[in-house]
Amino acid sequence: MNALAATSRNFKQAAKLLGLDSKLEKSLLIPFREIKVECTIPKDDGTLASFVGFRVQHDNARGPMKGGIRYHHEVDLDEVNALAQLMTWKTALANIPYGGAKGGIGCSPGELSISELERLTRVFTQKLHDCIGIHTDVPAPDMGTNSQTVAWILDEYSKFHVYSPAVVTGKPVDLGGSLGRDAATGRGVLFATEALLAEYGKSISDQRFVIQGFGNVGSWAARLINEAGGKVIAVSDVTGAVKSHNGLNIPKLLEHSMENRGVKGFSGGDALDPKSLLTEDCDVLIPAALGGVINRENADDIRAKFIIEAANHPTDPEADEILSKKGVLILPDIFANSGGVTVSYFEWVQNIQGFMWDEEKVNCELKTYMTRGFKDVKEMCKTYNCNLRMGAFTLGVNRVARATVLRGWGA
């Protein structure tokens, strides 16, 4: 099932539980605006290369639309649409005053030089600048992009509009980025995992973790889990996978991965077939890379007791059903990875206030939001007698539906 079909299916199930009017349901599902642009750049060797870029602005009932920009060869309109929709429910669940959006370019960032990436980002921004803004749509990094990418967007945007750091979040701290944003999604994953485990009388330090993806989210999650006493027994990225039953030395793995551009070849563990990583014996599985990786092909073989969705839509609805029958608990993406957009919100607030918070305040506020989010999700699970995914979806969808109805459709 593709990402859009899966996300829309979850939305429709939540709308049914909430008893939403079918016309309201339809209006919530259709995106506010879909933008598709051609981006042609000269490569370093003088030849031309053309790419397609997207920005889907899904909903703005609760505030400016918000979401990252992804550079990956699999990016297409359906995927960006699904990710934008997830952002709408995620920002509502986190109770931050935003709607949802997502962007992306179908490209392989690893095959482009830094100057090619800069040109591509600038051309994309030239095509997009009139549709984004502090109070309309605020992009951020996602897979394949980082603080440098949004710094280029900010600079290019500023050639057409007044210099406004709050037009993007996830910026370098020197350009008004927030302390703690880099680690925020991984830190949010830690707080979310702690909250879930506590419900079962468990804690990070008595669990064994497997993490797919060792980029921004996966590596920060690994680092913070390791610091909290958790045993990270296997990790993968595009280059390969490594495992150690005694727990990987995460600081050393981070060093190795920086020096060698990946986890492959790490001497502090055994090489593992990346395909079998998800079905390794562990307590907690954290997918922190691509969507759709847990599906009907492998769901039955998953041995984790808890799945924390650090990635967006890593679990297909068919796998959801299989895992639920097996008694595996899944903490859904729109809650588990909401720490990133929550600290993006703090960054936007700091930029608008013109006042910088210290990192302790950022982390402390993040914990408050994540703890409250978990409590709110559990409350919905109780009200609608549903699992955590439907608890999260009903919470987000209900808040957006209420805002939509209150704003009305008057001409």
Site membership for ligand AKG, residue 165 (CB under 6 A): no
Selected binder of ligand NDP within 213, 332, 373, 391 (CB under 6 A): 213
At its nearest, how many Å lie between ligand AKG and the CB of residue 138?
A: 7
Q: Is 39 helix (H, G, I), strand (E, B) or coil?
A: strand
Answer for the pair 339, 191: CB distance below 8 angstroms, yes or no.
Answer: yes
Site membership for ligand NDP, residue 240 (CB under 6 A): no
Phi, psi (5° rounding) for residue 36? -130, 125
Site membership for ligand NDP, residue 175 (CB under 6 A): no
User: In the annotation, is 102 catalytic?
Assistant: yes
At its nearest, how many Å lie between ligand NDP and the CB of residue 23?
A: 31
Would residue 329 be called left, alpha or beta, if left means φ above 0 and alpha means ψ between -120 and 50 degrees? beta
Residue whose tokens read 């981070």:
254
Which is nearer to ligand NDP, 15 or 339 (by Cβ)? 339
Site map for ligand AKG, 277-306, x if CB under 6 A?
------------------------------
At its nearest, how many Å lie between ligand NDP and the CB of residue 236?
A: 5
Site membership for ligand AKG, residue 313 (CB under 6 A): no
Site membership for ligand NDP, residue 254 (CB under 6 A): no
Residue whose tokens read 């055994």:
270
The torsion angle over the Cα atoms of residues 352, 354, 360 and 365, rounded to 10 degrees, is -20
DSSP notation for 214-234: -SHHHHHHHHHHHHTT-EEEE
Site membership for ligand NDP, residue 323 (CB under 6 A): no
Residue spans of beta strands (DSSP E) within 194-340: 208-212, 231-237, 240-243, 270-272, 284-287, 306-308, 329-331
Which is nearer to ligand NDP, 215 or 317 (by Cβ)? 215
Q: Which of 356, 357, 361, 341 is nearest to 168 (CA)?
A: 341
Site membership for ligand AKG, residue 341 (CB under 6 A): yes
> Which element (helix H / strand E) includes 346?
helix 339-353
Site map for ligand AKG, 80-119, x if CB under 6 A?
----------x-----------------------------
Active-site hit among 102, 171, 231, 243: 102
Of ligand NDP, ligand AKG, none, which one sits near residue 233, judging by CB under 5 to 8 A according to partner kind? none
Selected binder of ligand NDP within 290, 349, 356, 386 (CB under 6 A): 290
Burial class (CB in 10 A: 0-12, 13-18, 19+), 162: exposed
Residues near ligand NDP, by CB under 6 A:
141-144, 185, 212-218, 236-239, 262, 274, 288-290, 310-312, 337, 340
For the annotated binding site for substrate, the residues are: 66, 90, 344
